[in-house]
Amino acid sequence: MPTILVRNISSATKRALRAQARGNARSTEAEIRAILDGAVRPAARLRLGSALAKLAAPLGGLDLKITRDKTPVGSAGFE
């Protein structure tokens, strides 16, 4: 697992991290990992279809009932 070294953290920040870690029954290191994970990894994945439907709702919504054209495609001509 990669290691990150963070320098020059104020003593007040270090005390606050320790207190928060104690409150969550974790080590300070585990608390910092949890904070970083929460900051950079979203709790819920963005669902593109849901986001587009929400965006289009005020405009009447989306018509997602699309039928695919199953006609075979011919070969390309390079003349």
Instruction: Check if the beta carbon of residue 13 is closer than 8 Å to that of residue 7.
Output: no
Provide the pLDDT for residue 53. Answer: 84
The pLDDT confidence band at residue 59, using thresholds 50, 70 and 90, is confident
Where are the domains positioned within the chain?
Answer: 11-59
Q: Which tens digit of pLDDT belongs to each residue from 17-56?
A: 999 999 999 999 999 999 999 888 877 777 888 888 888 8
What is 11-59's CATH number? 1.10.1220.10
Provide the pLDDT for residue 45. Answer: 76
3-state secondary structure of 71: coil
Provide the pLDDT for residue 34. Answer: 94
State the Cα–Cα distance between residues 12 and 9, nearest whole angstrom: 8
